Amino acid sequence: MPKAGQPLFSGAKKARAKPAQKQAKAAQSPLETYLREINAVPLLSADEEVELAKRIKTGDAQAREHMTRANLRLVVNIARGYQGKGLGLQDLIEEGNLGLIRAVSGFDPKFGTRFSTYASYWIKQAIKIGLINQGRTVRIPAYMVELMGKFRQAKRTLQEPNTPEPTFDAVCDHLGIKKRQRGYLAKALANAAGTNGNGNGQAHADDDSHDPMALLGEGSADQALEGLDKQELLTGLSSLIPELMESPDANEQRYGFILANRFGLFGADPKILKTIGEEMGLTRERVRQLEAEALAYVGKLLVGEEEYLEAIREVRPKPKRKRKPPCAVAGPLLPKAADSAQSPFVAPKKTTGKLKKTRRYK
């Protein structure tokens, strides 16, 4: 019997409340469950990152999994900045996790940075590539998408009211785009128009929702596909060079040695081709050829496109050439008059015989 003042069906209400709470928990999306699980994993200290990195180099699978799980929150934080660009948050996280796995494999404490700083490059790269190539049959590298956005923005800036559109070369001249890059840019613009057009290779002029550049954003400070800065490029390059130098393949070892010296990585000063050739016992021209091969090889490893090399070449620091000091002349350049007067006169030798006639061409 219920006590005085107590409702008759209070127990029934409590019994109904428990199933309702269970249903609310069961109604959580897989993404919410995933976020709750990764938030329960504690973050790593700098010493723990160094210890795990050493164990990963020895092939410890548990250390690799621990490093990956402890940094899944980093992927989520970066992926949130790319929302509204064509992929859902769950898809962005999946793309970013691929970059995180790549970063775990290549991280070396000798770089002198925390793992989060190193991994951010690979996570952003993976997300950018996923955004760019969604629904595409032809891959467009990240730096080219940024260049396409700058091109469209400059084209709108240069075009005045009631005037014809500026030409392709005029916009390229305004942006200072090199001639060797214009061919890649023209192909990328044509590919974007053909992929997102009406089937006849023409883009939707009046509907920005079909425009890949409008989808990915342009001209804003927080745009998802902001260009790779110099530090990001060098970070990605420096992460691959140690692997090349430690590779059993002789060609990869040479590639790593040349790029490390040309870019001045790991605290060294950039060197000229001649200096590297003297150290390797090769000619300057041969080192130049190997450098081109190495850049092509690294470009494919980074993003799968050789066009990415244009951005790498632009950030390479120029080595300082050591100029030889002027040769020191011992004594006066001209003999003294007294010495020349005392020296005996030597008559020139007379030539014997006839001089050969040479044919002159008019």
95-152 tens-digit pLDDT: 999 999 988 988 877 766 788 888 888 898 788 778 766 766 556 665 676 677 788 8
- Could you write out the three-class secondary structure of the chain? CCCCCCCCCHHHHHHHHHHHHHHHHHCCCHHHHHHHHHHCCCCCCHHHHHHHHHHHHCCCHHHHHHHHHHCHHHHHHHHHCCCCCCCCHHHHHHHHHHHHHHHHHHCCHHHCCCHHHHHHHHHHHHHHHHHHCCCCCCCCCHHHHHHHHHHHHHHHHHCCCCCCCCCHHHHHHHHCCCHHHHHHHHHHHHHHHHHCECCCCCECCCCHHHCHHHHHCCCCCCCCCCCCCHHHHHHHHHHHHHHHHCCCCHHHHHHHHHHHHHHCCCCCCCCCHHHHHHHHCCCHHHHHHHHHHHHHHHHHHHHCCHHHHHHHHHHCCCCCCCCCCCCCCCCCCCCCHHHHHHCCCCCCCCCCCCCCCCCCCC
The last residue of one of the domains, among 163, 194, 216, is 216
Residues 98 and 33 in one domain: yes
* Domain assignment of residue 344, yes or no: no
Amino acid identity of 159?
Answer: Q
* Domain assignment of residue 321, yes or no: no
* Domain assignment of residue 16, yes or no: no
pTM tops 0.75, yes or no: no
Residues 108 and 147 in one domain: no
Residue span of the structural domain in which 128 resides? 26-132
**pLDDT value, residue 250:** 81
Tokens of 356: 């050969």
Q: How many domains does one find in the chain?
A: 3
Residues 112 and 156 in one domain: no
**Cβ–Cβ < 8 Å for 189, 148:** yes
* Domain assignment of residue 280, yes or no: yes
Residues 194 and 253 in one domain: no
- What CATH number has the domain bearing residue 57? 1.20.120.1810
CA atoms in the 13 A half-sphere facing the CB of 177:
24
Residues 252 and 274 in one domain: yes
Look at the alpha carbons of 38, 42, 46, 47 in this order and tell me if their dihedral is positive or negative.
negative
**pLDDT value, residue 111:** 63
* Domain assignment of residue 122, yes or no: yes
In percent, the amount of the chain with pLDDT more than 90 equals 12
- The highest-confidence range among 43-52, 265-274, 290-299, by mean pLDDT, is 43-52
* Domain assignment of residue 347, yes or no: no
Residues 174 and 254 in one domain: no
Residues 281 and 258 in one domain: yes
* Domain assignment of residue 204, yes or no: yes
- Other C-beta atoms closer than 10 Å to the C-beta of 248 total 6
- Cα of 41 vs its chain's centroid, Å: 30
Residues 258 and 307 in one domain: yes
Residues 58 and 38 in one domain: yes
- The highest-confidence range among 97-101, 139-143, 178-182, 308-312, by mean pLDDT, is 97-101
Residues 206 and 240 in one domain: no
